[in-house]
Amino acid sequence: DSDKEISVYDIHLQQPYDLDDKVQFLKEAEMAPGKILRPHIFKHELLQNFSFHLFAKRPVEPVCDMASFRRGLARRVCLAALQIRLNVGGRSDDPAFTFVEFNQLDSAREGCAVCSLDMTSEPDRWEEAV
């Protein structure tokens, strides 16, 4: 009987919900056969912040000569500059977001490079922040 109750819950968020915000630009997309991406926006009066988390996996680029070392170093310097720019923008008088962070790291556990973008904002300014 408990297995029947568990099957009712949509833990993979594949079904629409009454509380989902009806936003026109969020469309389902089939990324690969059988792999459907369905963005969700959840609303509830007890949620105090909007949060946005985006992750991507990329192959680890091998460093086997000086040119590949320079390319990897330049990428990391550019990403550090982007993070500084995001932090400075977040300290302005009226920023759209309360927190933003971009990271890229090589993950031995995942066997790939993981890129992530994390952002939080006030609930009423989420569109501006994104």
Positive or negative torsion for Cα 18, 126, 31, 10: negative
Q: What is the pLDDT of residue 79?
A: 87
Q: What is the pLDDT of residue 24?
A: 56
Residues 55, 112: contact at Cβ < 8 Å?
no
Q: How many C-beta atoms surround the C-beta of residue 50 within 10 A?
A: 21
- For the chain, 130 residues long, the average pLDDT of each consecutive 10-residue run is 54 61 66 77 73 86 91 89 82 82 84 88 82
Q: What is the pLDDT of residue 7?
A: 54
Q: What is the pLDDT of residue 20?
A: 56
